[in-house]
Amino acid sequence: MKQSRLSLNLILASALMHVVPVQAQESVVNLYSARHYSTDEALYADFTKSTGIKVNRVDADDAGILARLKAEGAASPADVVLLVDAARLWRAEADGLFAPVMSPTLEAAIPEHLRAAATPSGTHWFGFSTRARVIVYDKVKVKRADVDTYEKLADPSLKGKLCIRSGSHPYNLSLISAVNAHLGDQGTETWLKGLVANFAREPKGGDTDQIKGVASGECAVAVTNTYYLARILRSNKPEDQAIADKVGVVFPNQASWGTHVNIAGGAMAKNAKNRANAIKFLEYLASPGAQQYFATGNNEWPTAKGVTVANTALKAMSGGDFKSDTVPLATIGMNQVKIQQLLDRVGFK
């Protein structure tokens, strides 16, 4: 009997040695992020300070993150995914890479047109910041009224004056998809032909290159996301101040459907292991404090209702407020294949 009791005690002691105390387990959220902005470090640090949940981050571009999620499958450690384009968010949802989220907090905070269409099981992604796709122009060579709509970029009066990055870049695919929602297929194709006819050079470079092209005289009109221009406006470098002095900015279509905005958004990964933490993190991104990090850190507008922007550069370029297009970004994402086919037909590389 004593021998049996001794054996049992040894077994129990051995088992207890292999039990990890609950309090010793680390509370984490594993993040795959396409946001490569150093200012986001403060965002994540604040979340950890507020919740005790550590953020483990993997950085890559949108395409790289989606490829990694597909390759990892059910073994993926990702809990939350942050991407910087509505079309890529829609594509990931369509490919089954996200898990739906049921969150009254997020549903109340983020406007419907800035998130995925709701399903009975929840919503697959949410926009947490926006950037407007605006027109910059040479203040000496071009009148503001001549470029105050996207449609006017195709006017023959601008022949040889337009700089723009590749039509196949996600930022332009989303813009053209939004225009397509208003002009229809035939109207969009005609518009795109006008853009191609007005090129000052073949599409190349990023948005900052387009702004510099206007300032240098290479072209007179260009298209850019607002945060690229805001970086120049906030810079103390003499060369950036010289650029800011030469270019004007227009938020297009204020008298009609409004200026196109794209988003940086987030979702819970399909195979998330830390689901409660993932939802906490997504809800945190919609909080007023986190929304201000987005606005001040990377010159983006908050998406959460009731949060006002404090960024002086954004206020200066927009006049404090502007009318934005409310075509659902989920709809814009669905049109990407069709838009690429239109680009191919008109020779917009």
What pLDDT digit, counting tens, does each position of 164-204 carry?
A: 999 999 899 999 999 999 999 999 999 999 999 999 999 99
Q: What local confidence, expressed as pLDDT, does residue 250 receive?
A: 97
* Burial category of 92 from C-beta neighbours within 10 Å (exposed 0-12, middle 13-18, buried 19 and up): buried
Q: What local confidence, expressed as pLDDT, does residue 22 receive?
A: 35
Q: What local confidence, expressed as pLDDT, does residue 102 receive?
A: 97
Q: What local confidence, expressed as pLDDT, does residue 16 receive?
A: 32
Distances, alpha carbon 285 to alpha carbons 145, 270, 278, 347, in Å: 38, 19, 11, 40
77 has a pLDDT exceeding 90: yes
Residues 41-62 have a mean pLDDT of 93
Low-confidence winner among 19-23, 104-108, 126-130, 239-243 (lowest mean pLDDT): 19-23
Question: For 217, phi and psi rounded to 5 degrees?
Answer: 95, 0
Q: What is the pLDDT of residues 108-157, one digit of tens each?
A: 999 999 999 999 999 999 999 999 999 999 999 999 999 999 999 999 99
Residues 9-16 have a mean pLDDT of 37
252 has a pLDDT exceeding 80: yes
pLDDT band at 11 (very low <50, low <70, confident <90, very high): very low
Cα separation, 245 vs 169, in Å, equals: 28
**Do residues 30 and 80 make contact, with C-beta atoms less than 8 angstroms apart?**
yes
- CATH of segment(s) 131-260+325-346: 3.40.190.10
Mean pLDDT of all residues in the chain? 90
From 48, 86, 88, 85, select the one nearest 67 (Cα to Cα): 88
CATH homologous superfamily of 22-130+261-311 equals Periplasmic binding protein-like II (3.40.190.10)
pLDDT band at 24 (very low <50, low <70, confident <90, very high): very low
14 has a pLDDT exceeding 50: no
Domain boundaries in the chain? 22-130+261-311, 131-260+325-346
